[in-house]
Amino acid sequence: MYPLRNLPSNRRSSTKPARTLTRQRRTVNKCGSSTINQTNMSYKAFLSHSKVSKEDQEFYDLKNKAAEYYRSNGVPQKIENVLNEMFWQKPDDIYGYLANYFSRLSDTPVISKIIGREVFDGRGLTAIQTQVYCIIRNEEKVVCSAMMSGPSDGLEEDGVAESGEEFTNSNQQRLSITAALKWIREHLSPMLQGFNPTDQTSVDKLLSDFFMACYLEHKDSLNIDKEDELRIESVSEAPPQATPIPAPTKDKKGSDKGKKGNSTEKLLPPAETPLPQLPGATAVGVVSLAVAKTAAILLGEPLYRHITSVRVPQAQSEMHLPVPMITILSCGKNSVGKLNLLEEVILMPSSSQRVREVIGMGFELQCEMKRVLNGSAYKAGPICLTEDGALQVGFERPEQALDLITEACANLALPLGSDLRLAINCAAHSLMDYSRGKYEVMSGCHKSHDELVDMYEGLINKYPAITFLIDPFRKEDVDQWDRLASVIGQSCCLIADAASNFCPRWSEVKPLPPGVTRVIIRHHSDMTISDLIRSIAEQKDAETMLAAGSGDASIVDLAVGSGVSFLKLGGLRGGEGMDKYNRLLAIEEELEQEGILGAREKKQPLSDLSETLNSGSGCDSVTIST
């Protein structure tokens, strides 16, 4: 094969001297191969021997510059190499072969701009969608998009907060979305221009630094406003109204010192003031997620692999899948019946079961539960579906719901209590009646803290399949957490969700309620991917879980990549929820085909949890949620 030696020049059919010049610069050696003329004739010597026009001189100079430009960048050698390789391989798609070859030599894509827009999530709430544009082989292209809801994170709906004040999350969320779009348009997009999207750590550090600067600026403005208010109040000299303080002593007059029970019961710990959400903070989380998805696409690998490489730079010979947690029943405040306590009844399969088996089991169980309900053996209200795709049934008492699940599992011969366990999400923070100082576990039925402890103990003794209680009390009820843990700690684990005391990066970490052995860490809208990975790593040897909220299926990749143990995906209905189940199923099939799907090691048995609780070692499990 003869190697290529000459670059093609631009055709100038209208200029005769140019063609003559080309012929003069080429000679044929004795072997017949074409080579570049080795003449050392300089440009001035050429001009002295030839009469050429100014246009031809400029063209000759341009050709020399072009040749030097291509030689300095190694273009002739690379073209020669690829043509020689292609001749021997003789691919069917010649130009596809050339395109693949030269694409590997192209510059690393960089971010050119980020565009944000307001959309609606699966709950009908406003959300942010961002699109990442990159310069790829000298062309600006949109690579991918990501969506994230506002700061509410699905913890509370419009209504009455713990403090008793009315609030509207929709208005707060709309303001946050508007501010976030401004952040993206005016600040984050220009700041990230030219960044390599595969460098997740650098991108997240820039986002975190910007967020911290905005928070400090927002804090200063709030302090200035407070100072102005105090100054106005001091000038107005309003009459003091602190004298009515003795009013509470009226109640104490009727009660002697011996009635300590009533006084302690009325001393209800006030609800903690919720941390203010910085308007626009959602931009940080959604941009970080969009950049991570962009990097995965550019690298040609799934998102979960990219997250894994960010968490552990070394190649992984074995990967584990989180165990899916299926919400099979909801009998909370939004249900038709009187029962409020069972916000969610969650099916907890064993780690040895495959995803396909778990999904099939969950479908069969829900169908059997509907069949049993239609048989009118239970006096239940209408059967509905929650936003998460779980069955919502109105019951009068918690025993009715648990009996239904027990009967359905028995009819299907499902191993409830061994390979299948139950977790109850009580959502007690939403059940507190602050006017009475008691929990309204059923409509018109209020329970004191001690009565609620006895109620939990009775349910666990009657239904031993209940091995997890999520938020059985408010996080402020420290004594009740401690008492409940001492009563049921050997047979049941306490999990903190709303009681997990989430703290932003600028605040101090608060202690968890006593007796908590598992914690739900949510992927908050102001958390970067690096923040999420760091929060999981801080749990050290903890068994971890992740609960998916409203959004696309990328939360499943985050769960697999971050190495969590459990993934709470809601019920088995609805397109958005089933997309997440299907994504987890697809990842399982990919890892099985590659032979790197490892079996998750069994954790500490529940019977040995008493030793953990007594040792005070803290949490041994974490749940992550969006």
Domain final residue pick, 57, 84, 105: 105
Query: In 10 A of CB 538, how many CB atoms?
Result: 11
Provide the pLDDT for residue 160.
40
Average confidence (pLDDT) over 54-73: 90
Residue 161: pLDDT band with limits 50, 70, 90:
very low
Tokens encoding 159: 């209504």
Query: In 10 A of CB 559, how many CB atoms?
Result: 31
Provide the pLDDT for residue 46.
55
Tokens encoding 584: 């987890």
Instruction: Judge whether 230 lies within some domain.
Output: no
Are 97 and 154 in the same domain? no
Q: Supply the CATH number for residue 546's domain.
A: 3.20.20.120
Provide the pLDDT for residue 434.
87
Return the H-helix or E-strand segment holding 581.
helix 575-594
Location of structure tokens 């109640």: 251
174, 296, 300 from 197: Cα distances, Å: 29, 9, 13
Q: What angle do CA 223, 228, 233 make, to 5 degrees?
A: 125
pTM over 0.85, yes/no: no
Return the H-helix or E-strand segment holding 366.
helix 355-374
Tokens encoding 624: 């992550």
Lowest-pLDDT range, 143-152, 456-465, 506-515, 565-574? 506-515
Are 492 and 518 in the same domain? yes
Instruction: Judge whether 79 lies within some domain.
Output: yes
Q: Supply the CATH number for residue 130's domain.
A: 3.30.390.10
Return the H-helix or E-strand segment holding 291.
helix 282-299
Contact present, 622 and 521 (Cβ < 8 Å): yes
C-beta pairs of 362-368 under 8 Å, 24+ apart in sequence: 362/326, 362/328, 362/572, 363/572, 364/412, 365/328, 365/405, 365/408, 365/409, 365/412, 365/414, 366/328, 366/391, 366/571, 366/572, 368/408, 368/411, 368/412
Are 323 and 209 in the same domain? no
Residue 244: pLDDT band with limits 50, 70, 90:
very low
Instruction: Judge whether 275 lies within some domain.
Output: no
Each residue's pLDDT tens digit, 382-402: 788 888 888 888 888 999 999
Instruction: Judge whether 24 lies within some domain.
Output: no
Residue 219: pLDDT band with limits 50, 70, 90:
confident
Torsion angle (degrees, nearest 10) of CA 526, 322, 156, 363: 140
As a residue count, the chain comes to: 626
Number of domains in the chain: 3
Q: Which range scores top for mean pLDDT: 168-177, 261-270, 490-499?
A: 490-499
Domain final residue pick, 105, 136, 157: 105
Helix (H, G, I), strand (E, B) or coil at 60: helix
**Nearest alpha carbon to residue 554 among 531, 576, 521:** 576
Are 473 and 563 in the same domain? yes
Query: In 10 A of CB 60, how many CB atoms?
Result: 19
Each residue's pLDDT tens digit, 19-42: 443 343 343 333 333 333 444 445
Are 93 and 205 in the same domain? no
Instruction: Judge whether 564 lies within some domain.
Output: yes
Location of structure tokens 């030599």: 105
Lowest-pLDDT range, 254-258, 336-340, 482-486, 564-568? 254-258
Average confidence (pLDDT) over 359-364: 92
Answer with the residue of higher pLDDT: 267 or 364. Answer: 364
For helices 529-537 and 282-299, the axis angle rounded to 10 degrees is 90
Are 123 and 79 in the same domain? no
Q: Give the end-to-end CA distance of the chain in Å, rounded to a whole number.
A: 61
69, 170, 281, 497 from 184: Cα distances, Å: 39, 21, 10, 30
Are 444 and 498 in the same domain? yes
Are 403 and 483 in the same domain? yes
Query: In 10 A of CB 448, how many CB atoms?
Result: 15
Are 378 and 524 in the same domain? yes
Are 466 and 528 in the same domain? yes
Instruction: Judge whether 305 lies within some domain.
Output: no
Instruction: Judge whether 263 lies within some domain.
Output: no
Provide the pLDDT for residue 560.
92
Contact present, 490 and 609 (Cβ < 8 Å): yes
Are 115 and 73 in the same domain? no
Provide the pLDDT for residue 229.
64
Domain that holds residue 335: 318-594
Provide the pLDDT for residue 4.
41
Q: Is 67 exposed, middle or buried (0-12, 13-18, 19+ CB in 10 A)?
A: middle
Distance from the Cα of residue 419 to its chain's centroid: 29
Are 393 and 509 in the same domain? yes
User: Mean of the per-residue pLDDT values for the chain?
Assistant: 78
Average confidence (pLDDT) over 259-276: 58
Provide the pLDDT for residue 210.
93
Tokens encoding 626: 């969006």
Residue 375 scores a pLDDT above 80: no
Instruction: Judge whether 54 lies within some domain.
Output: no
Domain final residue pick, 196, 219, 242: 219
Each residue's pLDDT tens digit, 286-299: 999 999 999 999 99
Residue 588 scores a pLDDT above 90: yes
